[in-house]
Amino acid sequence: MSENTESLDLWKIPYHEPPPGVTSDFGARSDLLDPTIVIVSLVLFTTTCIIALRIWANWGRGKWQIDDWCAIATFILTITNGGMLIPLTRVFGKQDYDIPVGLLRYSRWFQRMLSIYGFVLSFAILLGKCCMLALYYRLFSIRKSMRIQIYIALIFCLPIAAGGIAFIIEFGPEKSYEDMRRRREKREWLPMISAAACLVVDALIVVMPIPVILGLNLSTRRKRGVLAMFATGSIAVVADIVVIYLRVLVLQRNGLGRHFIMTALFG
Protein backbone atom coordinates (compact mmCIF):
# COMPACT_ATOMS: atom_id res chain seq x y z
CA MET A 1 0.00 0.00 0.00
CA SER A 2 1.43 3.39 -0.96
CA GLU A 3 1.86 6.19 1.55
CA ASN A 4 -0.90 8.24 -0.13
CA THR A 5 -3.35 5.35 0.05
CA GLU A 6 -2.40 4.66 3.66
CA SER A 7 -2.87 8.33 4.48
CA LEU A 8 -6.28 8.40 2.78
CA ASP A 9 -7.39 5.28 4.65
CA LEU A 10 -6.28 6.64 8.02
CA TRP A 11 -8.27 9.81 7.45
CA LYS A 12 -11.33 7.53 7.35
CA ILE A 13 -10.48 5.50 10.46
CA PRO A 14 -11.64 6.79 13.88
CA TYR A 15 -9.21 7.09 16.77
CA HIS A 16 -11.50 4.79 18.77
CA GLU A 17 -14.27 2.54 17.52
CA PRO A 18 -17.73 4.08 18.08
CA PRO A 19 -20.24 2.40 20.41
CA PRO A 20 -22.72 -0.05 18.87
CA GLY A 21 -25.31 1.76 16.77
CA VAL A 22 -23.20 4.94 16.49
CA THR A 23 -21.54 6.06 13.25
CA SER A 24 -18.38 8.18 13.22
CA ASP A 25 -18.90 11.70 11.89
CA PHE A 26 -15.54 13.36 11.27
CA GLY A 27 -17.27 16.58 10.23
CA ALA A 28 -19.29 16.80 13.46
CA ARG A 29 -19.21 20.11 15.30
CA SER A 30 -17.57 19.87 18.71
CA ASP A 31 -20.06 20.44 21.51
CA LEU A 32 -17.19 22.07 23.43
CA LEU A 33 -16.65 24.74 20.77
CA ASP A 34 -19.33 27.19 21.93
CA PRO A 35 -18.41 26.90 25.64
CA THR A 36 -14.75 27.33 24.68
CA ILE A 37 -15.50 30.50 22.72
CA VAL A 38 -17.53 31.89 25.65
CA ILE A 39 -14.90 31.03 28.28
CA VAL A 40 -12.00 32.34 26.16
CA SER A 41 -13.92 35.57 25.47
CA LEU A 42 -14.69 36.09 29.17
CA VAL A 43 -11.09 35.37 30.18
CA LEU A 44 -9.71 37.76 27.57
CA PHE A 45 -12.22 40.47 28.55
CA THR A 46 -11.40 40.09 32.25
CA THR A 47 -7.63 40.04 31.76
CA THR A 48 -7.83 43.02 29.39
CA CYS A 49 -9.71 45.03 32.03
CA ILE A 50 -7.22 44.04 34.74
CA ILE A 51 -4.20 44.94 32.59
CA ALA A 52 -5.82 48.23 31.53
CA LEU A 53 -6.40 49.14 35.19
CA ARG A 54 -2.84 48.15 36.05
CA ILE A 55 -1.41 50.30 33.25
CA TRP A 56 -3.65 53.20 34.27
CA ALA A 57 -2.55 52.88 37.92
CA ASN A 58 1.14 52.77 36.95
CA TRP A 59 0.97 55.52 34.33
CA GLY A 60 3.43 58.26 35.20
CA ARG A 61 4.63 56.41 38.29
CA GLY A 62 8.07 55.96 36.84
CA LYS A 63 9.89 52.65 36.99
CA TRP A 64 7.75 49.57 36.54
CA GLN A 65 8.28 46.58 38.79
CA ILE A 66 8.99 43.02 37.68
CA ASP A 67 5.46 41.91 38.64
CA ASP A 68 4.08 44.53 36.24
CA TRP A 69 6.10 43.13 33.34
CA CYS A 70 5.14 39.56 34.30
CA ALA A 71 1.49 40.60 34.18
CA ILE A 72 1.86 42.08 30.69
CA ALA A 73 3.75 39.01 29.42
CA THR A 74 1.06 36.75 30.90
CA PHE A 75 -1.60 38.83 29.14
CA ILE A 76 0.13 38.45 25.76
CA LEU A 77 0.51 34.69 26.20
CA THR A 78 -3.12 34.41 27.35
CA ILE A 79 -4.31 36.10 24.15
CA THR A 80 -2.13 33.74 22.10
CA ASN A 81 -3.38 30.77 24.09
CA GLY A 82 -7.03 31.68 23.51
CA GLY A 83 -6.48 32.24 19.80
CA MET A 84 -4.98 28.75 19.44
CA LEU A 85 -7.43 26.91 21.69
CA ILE A 86 -10.52 27.68 19.60
CA PRO A 87 -9.31 26.05 16.33
CA LEU A 88 -7.87 23.14 18.33
CA THR A 89 -11.27 22.62 19.95
CA ARG A 90 -12.94 22.66 16.54
CA VAL A 91 -10.93 19.65 15.29
CA PHE A 92 -9.94 17.87 18.52
CA GLY A 93 -12.63 18.60 21.11
CA LYS A 94 -14.84 15.73 19.97
CA GLN A 95 -15.62 12.18 20.91
CA ASP A 96 -12.71 9.89 20.08
CA TYR A 97 -14.75 8.11 17.42
CA ASP A 98 -15.29 11.44 15.60
CA ILE A 99 -11.53 12.11 15.37
CA PRO A 100 -9.70 10.49 12.43
CA VAL A 101 -6.36 8.80 13.04
CA GLY A 102 -5.03 10.77 10.07
CA LEU A 103 -5.37 14.01 12.05
CA LEU A 104 -2.94 12.73 14.67
CA ARG A 105 -0.61 10.98 12.25
CA TYR A 106 -0.41 13.20 9.16
CA SER A 107 -1.61 16.70 9.97
CA ARG A 108 1.47 18.90 10.35
CA TRP A 109 -0.80 21.84 11.15
CA PHE A 110 -2.32 19.95 14.07
CA GLN A 111 1.06 18.78 15.38
CA ARG A 112 2.48 22.31 15.21
CA MET A 113 -0.57 23.83 16.89
CA LEU A 114 -0.59 21.20 19.63
CA SER A 115 3.13 21.47 20.43
CA ILE A 116 3.17 25.29 20.37
CA TYR A 117 -0.05 25.45 22.37
CA GLY A 118 1.41 23.26 25.13
CA PHE A 119 4.49 25.51 25.27
CA VAL A 120 2.48 28.75 25.35
CA LEU A 121 0.03 27.44 27.95
CA SER A 122 2.82 26.29 30.28
CA PHE A 123 4.58 29.64 30.18
CA ALA A 124 1.34 31.60 30.54
CA ILE A 125 0.66 29.62 33.72
CA LEU A 126 4.28 30.03 34.86
CA LEU A 127 4.38 33.80 34.36
CA GLY A 128 1.00 34.20 36.04
CA LYS A 129 2.36 32.54 39.17
CA CYS A 130 5.63 34.47 38.96
CA CYS A 131 3.59 37.68 38.80
CA MET A 132 1.96 36.90 42.16
CA LEU A 133 5.23 35.74 43.72
CA ALA A 134 7.01 38.90 42.55
CA LEU A 135 4.20 41.00 44.03
CA TYR A 136 4.50 39.14 47.33
CA TYR A 137 8.25 39.69 47.32
CA ARG A 138 7.76 43.41 46.78
CA LEU A 139 5.18 43.67 49.56
CA PHE A 140 6.40 41.17 52.16
CA SER A 141 10.12 40.55 51.54
CA ILE A 142 10.96 42.32 54.79
CA ARG A 143 9.97 39.07 56.52
CA LYS A 144 12.60 36.34 56.18
CA SER A 145 10.05 33.53 56.47
CA MET A 146 8.09 35.05 53.58
CA ARG A 147 11.19 35.25 51.40
CA ILE A 148 11.98 31.58 52.06
CA GLN A 149 8.45 30.55 51.12
CA ILE A 150 8.64 32.57 47.90
CA TYR A 151 11.93 30.88 46.98
CA ILE A 152 10.37 27.46 47.65
CA ALA A 153 7.41 28.35 45.43
CA LEU A 154 9.78 29.45 42.66
CA ILE A 155 11.55 26.08 42.86
CA PHE A 156 8.20 24.36 42.34
CA CYS A 157 7.67 26.59 39.29
CA LEU A 158 10.61 24.91 37.54
CA PRO A 159 8.64 21.74 36.56
CA ILE A 160 6.03 23.97 34.91
CA ALA A 161 8.69 25.57 32.70
CA ALA A 162 10.30 22.19 32.05
CA GLY A 163 6.93 20.78 31.03
CA GLY A 164 6.42 23.50 28.42
CA ILE A 165 9.90 23.02 26.96
CA ALA A 166 9.55 19.23 26.96
CA PHE A 167 6.17 19.49 25.23
CA ILE A 168 7.52 21.35 22.21
CA ILE A 169 10.68 19.19 22.03
CA GLU A 170 8.98 15.82 22.43
CA PHE A 171 5.91 16.45 20.29
CA GLY A 172 7.21 18.83 17.62
CA PRO A 173 6.00 18.42 14.01
CA GLU A 174 9.30 16.98 12.86
CA LYS A 175 8.61 13.81 14.88
CA SER A 176 6.85 10.86 13.28
CA TYR A 177 3.56 9.66 14.73
CA GLU A 178 5.14 6.44 15.99
CA ASP A 179 7.99 8.38 17.60
CA MET A 180 5.56 10.74 19.31
CA ARG A 181 3.46 7.83 20.57
CA ARG A 182 6.51 6.05 22.02
CA ARG A 183 7.79 9.23 23.61
CA ARG A 184 4.39 9.99 25.13
CA GLU A 185 4.14 6.50 26.61
CA LYS A 186 7.61 6.84 28.18
CA ARG A 187 7.02 10.35 29.54
CA GLU A 188 3.40 10.27 30.65
CA TRP A 189 4.47 11.41 34.11
CA LEU A 190 5.60 14.85 32.86
CA PRO A 191 2.11 16.44 32.65
CA MET A 192 1.21 15.03 36.07
CA ILE A 193 4.34 16.49 37.68
CA SER A 194 3.60 19.87 36.09
CA ALA A 195 -0.01 19.76 37.33
CA ALA A 196 1.10 18.77 40.84
CA ALA A 197 3.64 21.62 40.85
CA CYS A 198 0.87 24.07 39.87
CA LEU A 199 -1.22 22.82 42.79
CA VAL A 200 1.63 23.27 45.28
CA VAL A 201 2.49 26.78 44.04
CA ASP A 202 -1.14 27.95 44.07
CA ALA A 203 -1.64 26.52 47.56
CA LEU A 204 1.46 28.40 48.75
CA ILE A 205 0.22 31.61 47.11
CA VAL A 206 -3.04 31.31 49.06
CA VAL A 207 -1.45 30.38 52.40
CA MET A 208 1.68 32.59 52.45
CA PRO A 209 0.07 35.99 53.20
CA ILE A 210 -2.24 34.70 55.96
CA PRO A 211 0.24 35.06 58.90
CA VAL A 212 1.26 38.52 57.67
CA ILE A 213 -2.34 39.69 57.37
CA LEU A 214 -3.28 38.32 60.79
CA GLY A 215 -0.35 40.25 62.28
CA LEU A 216 -1.44 43.60 60.81
CA ASN A 217 -2.71 46.33 63.11
CA LEU A 218 -6.20 46.27 61.64
CA SER A 219 -9.67 45.67 62.96
CA THR A 220 -11.03 42.14 62.74
CA ARG A 221 -13.48 43.23 60.05
CA ARG A 222 -10.73 44.68 57.85
CA LYS A 223 -8.53 41.64 58.36
CA ARG A 224 -11.37 39.45 57.16
CA GLY A 225 -11.80 41.64 54.11
CA VAL A 226 -8.11 41.44 53.21
CA LEU A 227 -8.08 37.68 53.81
CA ALA A 228 -11.15 37.28 51.60
CA MET A 229 -9.38 39.18 48.81
CA PHE A 230 -6.31 36.94 48.94
CA ALA A 231 -8.49 33.84 49.39
CA THR A 232 -9.82 34.27 45.85
CA GLY A 233 -6.65 32.43 44.85
CA SER A 234 -8.27 29.27 46.19
CA ILE A 235 -10.19 29.15 42.89
CA ALA A 236 -6.87 28.31 41.23
CA VAL A 237 -6.34 25.47 43.72
CA VAL A 238 -9.73 23.97 42.84
CA ALA A 239 -8.94 24.33 39.12
CA ASP A 240 -5.60 22.54 39.66
CA ILE A 241 -7.36 19.59 41.29
CA VAL A 242 -9.78 19.38 38.34
CA VAL A 243 -6.84 19.51 35.90
CA ILE A 244 -5.10 16.63 37.68
CA TYR A 245 -8.29 14.56 37.48
CA LEU A 246 -8.73 15.32 33.77
CA ARG A 247 -5.10 14.50 33.02
CA VAL A 248 -5.57 11.12 34.66
CA LEU A 249 -8.47 10.52 32.26
CA VAL A 250 -6.28 11.56 29.32
CA LEU A 251 -3.62 9.07 30.41
CA GLN A 252 -6.29 6.37 30.46
CA ARG A 253 -7.00 7.14 26.77
CA ASN A 254 -10.62 7.82 27.70
CA GLY A 255 -12.01 10.75 25.73
CA LEU A 256 -8.54 11.94 24.70
CA GLY A 257 -9.55 15.03 22.71
CA ARG A 258 -12.39 16.22 24.93
CA HIS A 259 -10.45 15.81 28.16
CA PHE A 260 -7.43 17.57 26.63
CA ILE A 261 -9.60 20.58 25.76
CA MET A 262 -11.28 20.60 29.18
CA THR A 263 -7.85 20.42 30.81
CA ALA A 264 -6.79 23.45 28.76
CA LEU A 265 -9.91 25.37 29.81
CA PHE A 266 -9.32 24.75 33.51
CA GLY A 267 -5.57 25.30 33.14
The string of pLDDT tens digits covering residues 52-90 is 988 887 776 667 888 889 999 999 999 999 999 999 999
19 confidence band (pLDDT: 50, 70, 90): confident
Cα separation, 226 vs 258, in Å, equals 38
**Segments in 16-107 forming alpha helices (H):** 33-58, 66-92, 101-106
pLDDT for res 187: 58
pLDDT for res 127: 93
Non-local CB neighbours of 67 within 8 Å, separated by 6+ positions: 131, 132, 134, 135, 138
Average pLDDT over residues 117-127: 91
184 confidence band (pLDDT: 50, 70, 90): low
pLDDT for res 20: 85
Residue-range domain boundaries for the chain: 31-266
Closest CA to 13 of 98, 95, 137: 98
pLDDT for res 185: 56
Asked if residue 216 has pLDDT above 90, the reply is no
Asked if residue 161 has pLDDT above 70, the reply is yes
Cα separation, 16 vs 20, in Å, equals 12
pLDDT for res 182: 60
Q: Which stretch of DSSP H or E encloses residue 100?
A: none
* Backbone region of residue 2 per phi and psi (left: phi > 0; alpha: psi in -120 to 50; beta: other values): beta
pLDDT for res 6: 47
Cα separation, 26 vs 14, in Å, equals 8
172 confidence band (pLDDT: 50, 70, 90): low
Q: What percentage of residues in the chain have a pLDDT greater than 90?
A: 26
Asked if residue 250 has pLDDT above 50, the reply is yes
Asked if residue 177 has pLDDT above 70, the reply is no
pLDDT for res 42: 92
pLDDT for res 267: 62
Non-local CB neighbours of 153 within 8 Å, separated by 6+ positions: 129, 133, 200, 201, 204, 205, 208
Asked if residue 5 has pLDDT above 50, the reply is no
> Are residues 111 and 172 in contact, defined by beta-carbon separation less than 8 angstroms?
yes
